[in-house]
Structure 1
Amino acid sequence: MSIKSLIAKQFAKYIHYKTQKWATNPVATQQKVFQDLIRQAKSTQFGQDHHFDQIHTFEDFAQRVPVRDYEALRPYIDRVVKGEENILWKGKPIYFAKTSGTTSGAKYIPLTKESMPFHIEAARNAILSYINETGKADFVNGKMIFLQGSPILEEKNGIKLGRLSGIVAHYVPKYLQKNRMPSWETNCIEDWETKVEAIVEETFPENMTVISGIPSWVQMYFEKLKEKANKPVGEIFKNFNLFIYGGVNYEPYRAKFENLIGRKVDAIELFPASEGFFAYQDSQKEKGMLLLLNSGIFYEFIKADEFFTENPRRYTIGEVERGINYVLILSTNAGLWGYNIGDTIQFTSLEPYRVIVSGRIKHYISAFGEHVIGKEVESALQEAMIGTSVRVNEFTVAPQINPSQGLPYHEWFIEFENEPDDLEAFALQLDQAMRKQNVYYDDLISGHVLRTLVISKVAKNGFQNYMKSIGKLGGQNKLPRLANDRKIADFFTNQ
């Protein structure tokens, strides 16, 4: 065992001990975070407007601070972007993470000197948690790749801005600099296809042990590696044994990845966003990711099926239940208050609090009152593939409300790696799996309001071409699993 891996194991034990202290005291931990946030923001413009000096309890806060999305908080954010101080948080942000919203255009998410360290520590602690549980640390001696956005930053009114993954690249610890790939020059390439080609050339001769990124874009990297070498990725990188991912559910990709790699590898799931780093997978044995309750974020939860009602109840960490779909609401040390990030989660464990990402509150199908969510379509596809040779590269689902004939239906656009021998039989299997996932969908099929789902095949690289057509190829961009309209569907049906 190398000195580096020995040190990593000792550090992992220490971080595990620190994590256990707050994870076993969740309510007290969140209460402390809440009080610190209110105290530090009392003198800000937002704090004065919402009478933070009169807030002593969560109930006080909920009465004074409504739940807002980006558009509702935008009047404050616009002032921050203009360079004004003490608006949402004390002083000025040190960065803006620039994201592209579907309805808001460019979004500028503030990152402060208080919030930024948690983004770095959470990613580090996820790896250390894995080391502590498994005892595996030899990978720290090899090369690690993080597929991410360009680290080149712009400046707006004295504040640097860029993609979150590009900002984080400036914070890679010195002890990882020699191991980290790709090179700075390659990481700065903006065009994703060109960038992946360069990454393939750079990493091909190296001892890659850890690979990280959003599965759909890592898949593109793996495919190009396999094409270059004409052998599985696991034979090119014999010591590659850890895949770190976030942003989307890995399960729909797992079979394809194992085929590309040629063997199974351990995986760690992360739940990062520009607004904060919320959770990471702390166990290879237990389902879900550990919700980070001490990271400068106070969490609230609203039941998804009540979210669009008037004045839905806002729950705190001690009040949640397992298996319920909650909309995640944040108040953070970057100055987001009662902020609806748009993600929905479910708790898989309450001791400690672990979550899975179940979808997006705006990404669902409820054209007929069925309210199908992302987790349900992913689970149904996974179940339908069991015991078959079917492999799927990518997919999305949309309602077909006005078919040329017959009843309406859900249309699944699937890019297959290995197609089913009988597409109609596979569609029926998938439909049965969906009916088990969603009782309302089952009722609509039984009641002959909907016909069984229809699969429309998408040509190879079809989804990459779609993302490229809307300027979102690569980086941290993700394809929506489903939508209540046919904007994505129309791209394929009109080709």
Structure 2
Amino acid sequence: MASIKAILAKPFAKRVAKQIKKWSSHPIETQEKVFQKLIADAVGTAFGKDHDFISVNNHEDFVKRVPIRDYEALKSYIERVVDGEEDVLWKGKPIYFAKTSGTTSGAKYIPITKDSMPSHVKAARNAILMYINETGNTRFVDGKMIFLQGSPILKEQKGIQLGRLSGIVAHYVPKYLQKNRLPSWETNCIEDWETKVDAIVEETLPENMTIISGIPSWVQMYFEKLIEKTDKKVGDIFKNFNLFIFGGVNYEPYRAKFENLIGRKVDSIELYPASEGFFAFQDKQNEKGMLLQLNSGIFYEFVEAEHFFEDNPQRITLKDVKVGINYVMIISTNAGLWAYNIGDTVQFTSTSPYRVIVSGRIKHFISAFGEHVIGKEVEQAMNEAIQSSEVSINEFTVAPQINPEEGLPYHEWFVEFENEPKDFVTFTNVIDQSLQAQNSYYKDLIDGKVLRPLKITKVKNEGFKNYMKSIGKLGGQNKIPRLSNDRKIADELYNKGLVK
């Protein structure tokens, strides 16, 4: 018999789905309201005064006054906030800083305010409620759920709490879920990732786990330790596990591996959270892409990725985007980020409603020869190769080889196989042909004998895990870049003896 919690979940889900339909059916008006409120609320801030917000009435005014900035360009304002100054980027002071590791700037301090915090929590909840409303499945609400995340221990700096986003969000688990939630506070506070996963295995083994969530590569590590301990598939250990929630990377390259580890198919929900905001979640099981959150205190602008590095590239709003174009996403938020480049590229899969997929990072591409290959293209190529053979992989990354010892330059694919293809030549050809079909620049370079077809280099078992451990980025929200325009990762894999 269904519990009271399971019975009440359905009408609650229906009500939330109705609210979401209301704003997603009026996307342009919704975004305009968000824009006007952001400007009005920040007029009196230091940033608002410096950029003449009092004269901003529309998007054109905003573009004239506020240039696109990344963290480095906004740093002088953020440092004032970190030093305890009020009313700098947003009214008052932030309640948190989400600390992230930047590539060029060392640690980044991303402000989270009283106004922005609720959307971080609500969006994840709404993703589950939309799933309930669509499928009618509430079986999981009475079981235990786990989110593999960073430590919830926060430090204080000038009266502002500081920690990882996932650790901050851990403080906002609703009361009605707290009894269901694992790992325990003590286990969650373990800093060393491998020790933590071992403790999570011990803690969850005897439980009725129904929801498991986290970045796929780190959930995979948890699953493998469960199997090692019990010699059973995850789906046999947790018979009622039927919902996997993930974000941070494309799940497709992992899907075959996960189905093998679990031993059966389970439903999944994709999320698009970041320290800067919770941007989208999967609202339909059979639709490609995630519903862009238009009513969450975030105003979106988009710049075509191929023009992004030009002087003054055109900044468009939602009404002018097109399906299938690769855009750099620019955000302005009620946490005080203005025309801010988070570094992600997205493509729209639908404009009614507005759904996106994350196609890569504007800094993560290969264009050593002008080919501008992006994350989505290498993932799709790998996925096609996996589907055409009985292969599963743990992880992969791609780098250019500009100066080979002999022959033409090429793209080098570093792949950690779970089980290898029977026919390596065919497997490699499927990837290369898919990449040529998707990217005409790459095809032209192959046809013109500037590049030769790609080469696969096998990575040893647990090679990527050992690489991440060696650079102090094992676990949590860290992930391997899908591709790089240099050979930093490639050289490290060779130097540390992690390739076969």
TM range (shorter): over 0.9
Residue by residue over 1:98-143, the C-alpha shift from the partner in whole angstroms, topping out at 9 and shown as x without a partner, is: 0001111000000000000000000000000000000001100000
1:290-305 alignment, distance < 5 Å: 290-305=291-306
SS of the aligned residue for 1:136 comes to coil
One-letter amino acid of the counterpart of residue 158, structure 1: G
Aligned-partner Cα distance in 2 for 1:124–1:142: 16
Structure 1 residue 454 and structure 2 residue 426: aligned?
A: no
SS of equivalent to 2:268: strand
Residue 337 of structure 2 aligns to a residue whose secondary structure is coil
Written as runs of structure 1 = structure 2, the 5 A alignment for 1:87-486 is 87-486=88-487
* CA-to-aligned-CA distance 1:376-396 (integer Å, 9 cap, x gap): 000000001123111110000
The whole-number CA distance in structure 2 between the counterparts of 1:405 and 1:205 is 56
Q: Tell me the matched-pair count.
A: 495
Please tell me the residue identity of whatever aligns with 2:127.
Answer: A
Superposition pairs of residues 13-28 of structure 1, within 5 angstroms: 13-28=14-29
Which stretches in structure 1 are left out of the alignment for 5+ residues? none
1:447-474 Cα shifts (integer Å, max 9, x gaps): 1000010000000111011111111100
Matched, 1:30 2:31: yes
Q: Shift of the alpha carbon at 1:410?
A: 0.0
CA distance in 2, matches of 1:269, 1:183: 24
| Structure 1 SS opposite 2:303 | strand
| C-alpha distance in 2 between matches for 1:53 and 1:386 | 55
Secondary structure (helix, strand or coil) at the match of 1:29 reads helix
* CA distance in 1 between partners of 2:425 and 2:408 (Å): 17
1:2 corresponding residue in structure 2? 3
d(CA) in 1 for partners of 2:434 and 2:227? 33
The answer (yes or no) to whether the contact 2:410–2:454 under 8 Å persists in 1 is: yes
In structure 1, what is the Cα distance between the partners aligned to 2:437 and 2:267? 29
Amino acid at match of 2:267: D
> Residues 211 and 242 of structure 2 are in contact (CA less than 8 Å); yes or no, is this contact kept in structure 1?
yes
| Cα contact 2:5–2:142 (8 A) shared by 1 | yes
Identity %: 73
User: SS at the partner of 1:299?
Assistant: strand
> What's the offset of the Cα at 1:446?
0.8
Checking the alignment, whether the CA contact within 8 Å between 2:412 and 2:457 is kept in structure 1 is: yes
- Asked whether the 8 Å contact 2:389–2:427 carries over to 1, the reply is no
Q: Per-residue deviation at 1:3?
A: 1.1
Alpha-carbon distance in 1 for matches of 2:230, 2:304: 49
- CA offset digits 1:170-197 (Å, max 9, x no partner): 0000000000000000000000000000
Q: CA offsets, 1:405-431, max 9 Å, x none?
A: 000000000000001123233212211
Q: Distance in 2 between matches of 1:227 and 1:437?
A: 39
- Tell me, what secondary structure is at the counterpart of 1:79? helix
Letter in 2 for 1:298: F
Where 2:291 maps in the other structure, the secondary structure is strand
Separation in 1, partners of 2:29, 2:213: 34
One-letter code aligned to 1:358: S
Distance 1:493 1:443 in 2: 30
SS at match of 1:206: coil
Q: Which amino acid aligns with 1:270?
A: L
Amino acid at match of 1:70: Y
What secondary structure sits across from 2:312 in the alignment? coil
Q: How far 1:432 moved relative to its partner?
A: 1.1
Deviations 1:26-75 (A, max 9, x none): 00000000000000000000000000000001100000000000000000
Separation (CA, whole Å) in 2 of partners of 1:48 and 1:154:
31
String of CA shifts for 1:310-335, please: whole Å, max 9, x gaps: 11000101110000000000000000
Q: Deviations over 1:279-329 (max 9, x none)?
A: 000000110000000000000000000100111000101110000000000
What letter corresponds to residue 271 of structure 2 in structure 1?
A: L
CA distance in 1, matches of 2:30, 2:175: 31
Q: Let me know the Cα RMSD of the aligned residues.
A: 0.6
- Give the aligned residue type for 1:423: F
Q: Give the Cα–Cα distance (whole angstroms) in 2 for the partners of residues 167 and 24 of structure 1.
A: 32
Looking at structure 2, the residues matched to 417 and 437 of structure 1 have their Cα atoms a distance apart, in angstroms, of: 26
DSSP 3-state at the match of 1:395: strand
- In the superposition, the TM-score normalised over structure 1's length comes to 0.99
AA at the equivalent of 2:178:
Q
- Which whole-Å CA distance do the structure 2 matches of 1:330 and 1:430 have between them? 34
Q: Once the 2 structures are TM-superposed, how far is the Cα of residue 15 of structure 1 from its aligned partner?
A: 0.1
Deviation readout 1:329-377 (Å, 9 max, x if unpaired): 0000000000000000000000000000000000000000000000000
Q: Secondary structure of 2:465's match?
A: helix
1:74 aligns with 2:75: yes
